[in-house]
Structures are given as C-alpha cells and as structure tokens.
Amino acid sequence: MVKVSVTNLAGQTRMIEAEEGLSLMENIRNNDFDDLAAICGGCCSCCTCHVFVDPAQYSDLPAMEDDEQYLLEDSEHYRDGSSRLSCQIEVDGSMDGLNVTIAPEA
C-alpha cells in the first residue's frame, strides 16, 4: 500500500494507506474523509474532489488533462502548482509519501 498524508478542512492530518489502481479520490473517501464531496463520482465534471498537493511533489504527478485544468481554473480556490482533482489521479507506488490537503468547496 501507498502511504498518503491527507489534511481535512479542520486542519487535521492523517496518514492513509492508499490502494494502487484506485483514484486518490476513492482512497480518500474509503478512509472516511467526509470533507471530500466528490459529487460526480469521478467523472471530472465538477470540482468537489479538489485537493492541494504539496507544491514540492506536484510535478511528480502525471500531467493533468485539459478538462481537469479548465474545471480547476474556474474554482475560486484554485492554486497554480498545487490544485488537482483527486478523481483524476490514479494512485501508484511512486506516490508513496504524497501530501494533500482537501480544498474548501466554492
């Protein structure tokens, strides 16, 4: 399992064991983080699974597709070099030690 540090909206951080092959969104929700709404269920049609990735680790993730970029740029909480949709990140072994913070909803 891949260890990922997740910080919720209250600022509490917890290390989870993320299952490879699932999206980061699925792993966060499977570990009882209620702050991540993920309304569209991973279809990349909303922004309710928005997370901030540690900027030092951001470039280690696979590049985002245009549709993810467009959704994020419309978010009032968008941060260049940090914002990602967790539904668009498939967890793999290279992500061990990843640090993410759940973004507030608009």
Cβ distance 33 to 60 under 8 Å?
Answer: no
pLDDT at 106: 57
CA-to-CA dists, residue 64 to 36, 46, 80, 85, angstroms: 20, 15, 12, 9
Tell me how far CA of residue 53 lies from CA of 82, 102, in angstroms.
Answer: 5, 9
pLDDT in tens, the chain (106 residues): 899 999 999 999 999 999 999 999 999 999 999 999 999 989 999 999 999 999 999 999 999 999 999 999 999 999 999 999 999 999 999 999 999 999 998 5
**Any idea how long the chain is?**
106
Residue 1, pLDDT score: 86
Overall number of domains in the chain: 1
- Domain of residue 90: give its range: 2-102
- Which residue in the block uniquely carries the two structure tokens 């668009």? 88
CATH of the domain at 48: 3.10.20.30
